[in-house]
Amino acid sequence: MNFVSINVNGLSDSRKGLWIRSVKSSLKADFLGLQETHLSNMSDFTISRLWDNSNMEAAVVDSVGRSGGLVSIWNPDVLSVDQIFKNQRYLILSGSMSGVEHRVNVVNLHAPNDSTNRRALWAELGGMINQDGGVWVLMGDFNEVRSEEERVNSRFDRGSSDAFNGFISSSGLLEYSMTGGKFTYFSGHSDVKMSKLDRFLVNDLFMSLWPNARSAVLRRSFSDHCPISLSCLDIDFGRIPFKFFNSWVEDQALVELVDKAMACCNGGNVENIAPGSWGVELVWFLKNIKDAIKKWRKDRSLNEKRSRWSCYLFWNELKIKPA
């Protein structure tokens, strides 16, 4: 399952819908969490513009005036939601996921600017996480950093940071290393302020199910926040690598075979390789050697089987001969 979280900083600009849709499609996201929509009473048409043509379901928290607003959109073929909890600061979806025996809880949140209200939010969320169990993933704009290195050109509040880290620790939450950039929020022009405000937090059960999940900061476009992604799909490394055993090197026939295969590539002369085509020639060079070794090993295995069968017949014949 792939997650994408974006603080969109308003959806009034029609170009943002196309941008969000393209991000969702390019990452093949199954869950999309948006913060700061600045909209209330969102129509089905407006929501559908944020998703591609695949199946979707959505839940919304209306903004208060021009402030706040949350939208969560998901693929019902992957996540089946049967409970929704929400207020002005978070939107929690709870249900089941194919192949996962535990209840899955996905939190889309936008933390308040005021540090006192943030601490109240941490306490509320921490209580739910510790009480309900299951799989938990939190995403969105936390409006807080975990260390001084996550802020540039803005004031670092040690007390608020410690409270945030305390919430993460007491709730048993973990964070994947994020690639693509150190910061997710940018403001200003001459003295640009940069902070890591957006992130994914998961509990231990989530990380045990997807230990190889990858989190990334994506390119910023129509918002002052960068989209972030969490990919939980198994990584496909392609075909199984070609096996080669050290003991084969001792076989003189193999050495001669490799020399012959090398000689067949451009006559064994690197000067025959055209400039700019080294990469292509190297691929064919290695493929030629690999194919020769595979054929040699296949023939050698067949001869070994024939030899073992001949030995078996010979000893069997000795056993049945009269003394």
Q: What is the pLDDT of residue 159?
A: 96
Q: What is the pLDDT of residue 278?
A: 54
Given this structure, which CATH class describes domain 2-231?
alpha beta
Query: Model's pTM, two decimal places?
Result: 0.72
Series of mean pLDDT values for 10-residue runs along the chain (323 residues): 95 91 94 96 92 95 90 96 95 93 96 96 96 93 96 94 96 94 87 94 94 93 95 60 69 80 60 52 72 80 72 64 51
Q: What angle do CA 107, 174, 222 make, to 5 degrees?
A: 55
Q: How far is CA 139 from CA 7, 239, 281, in A?
A: 10, 34, 47
User: Rounded distance, CA 211 to CA 234, Å?
Assistant: 10
Amino acid at the residue 5:
S
Q: What is the pLDDT of residue 14?
A: 85
Q: What is the pLDDT of residue 235?
A: 47
List beta partners, residue 187: 193
Helix (H) or strand (E) holding 194: strand 193-195
User: Rounded distance, CA 199 to CA 140, Å?
Assistant: 6
Q: What is the pLDDT of residue 213?
A: 93
Give the pair of three-digit tokens for residue 189: 């022009």
HSE of 159, CA atoms in CB hemisphere, 13 A? 5
User: Rounded distance, CA 49 to CA 52, Å?
Assistant: 7
Q: Are 198 and 228 in contact (CB under 8 A)?
A: yes
Q: What is the pLDDT of residue 295?
A: 82
Mode of pairing for the β-strands spanning 173-174 and 198-203: antiparallel
User: Rounded distance, CA 56 to CA 76, Å?
Assistant: 6
DSSP letter at 246 equals G
Domain ranges of the chain: 2-231, 246-320
Q: Are 163 and 143 in contact (CB under 8 A)?
A: no
Q: What is the pLDDT of residue 237?
A: 43
